[in-house]
Amino acid sequence: MHRLRFTAGIVLAGLVVTACTENSTDTTAQEPTLETATMSATEESSDAKPEESPTDSAATEEEPTRPVPPNVMMDDEQPSPEADTTSSCGAADAQAAFSEGVSQVAPWGTIGWELFDSSGYDPCASLSWETLMIEGGTSSSPFHIMLFNHGEYLGTATAKPYGFAPTIERVSDSEIAVTYHWPREGEGNANRSGTTDAGFRWDEGQQKVIMSGDVPPTSVGS
């Protein structure tokens, strides 16, 4: 009888131990460890997408898509209003251009020069001109041609002046044609018939005036 009770007690004790062990195992499985919690938080953080601010979105949508660099203008674009189209132009006043240039023209003897014709002056042209006559001169008096590049005085067309007012015409923005007049042998000043043609062209590459043609047979005072 005592042996039976002892055996039953052992069995009951074993059941209690087994139950405690199972409960302990279940509790351990259900409680997350520190490592598991950290990994879970990291995964949730990496899965979350950063919200795009309205400002960034608007900037992306409004960014222009020009297929050319800034230094190239497309044909449907308007020039910038800040563009200075007169940057290559000189003094707009023909009288001012004359006053600035005539001081560099040697006088004819003791006589200075006066402005005879300024209609050919263009402050924005590659080559323009003004015609000078000696002070108090007549139709057969010496004449000089002053040349300008974008309003900047270059010098006279020829080294020496020639009698009678020349006829000057514009050929292009950078070229003019000059016809000199002079009396042939036996002719008077009023019925002169001699002519000589010359051309003057501004060469941008050489930065100088190129002359073609010829000048009259003699210059005044030679």
Q: What is the pLDDT along the chain (222 residues), one digit of tens a residue?
A: 444 444 444 444 444 444 444 444 454 445 544 444 444 444 554 555 555 555 454 444 554 453 333 434 434 444 444 434 345 898 789 999 999 999 999 999 999 999 999 999 999 999 999 999 999 999 999 999 999 999 999 999 999 999 999 999 999 999 999 999 999 999 999 889 999 999 999 999 999 999 999 999 876 655
Cβ contact 114:129 at 8 Å: no
pLDDT of the residue at 29 = 46
Instruction: Please state whether the predicted TM-score (pTM) of the whole model is above 0.75.
Output: no
Q: Residue 1 half-sphere exposure, CB side, CA atoms within 13 Å?
A: 0
Q: Give pLDDT, residue 221.
A: 54
The whole-angstrom separation of Cα 126 and Cα 133 is 24
Compute, in degrees rounded to 10, the torsion defined by CA atoms 183, 186, 188, 189.
10
CA torsion, ordered 102, 108, 112, 116, to nearest 10 deg: -70
Whether the CB-CB separation of 199 and 213 falls below 8 Å is answered with: yes
Predicted local distance difference test score (pLDDT) of residue 129: 98
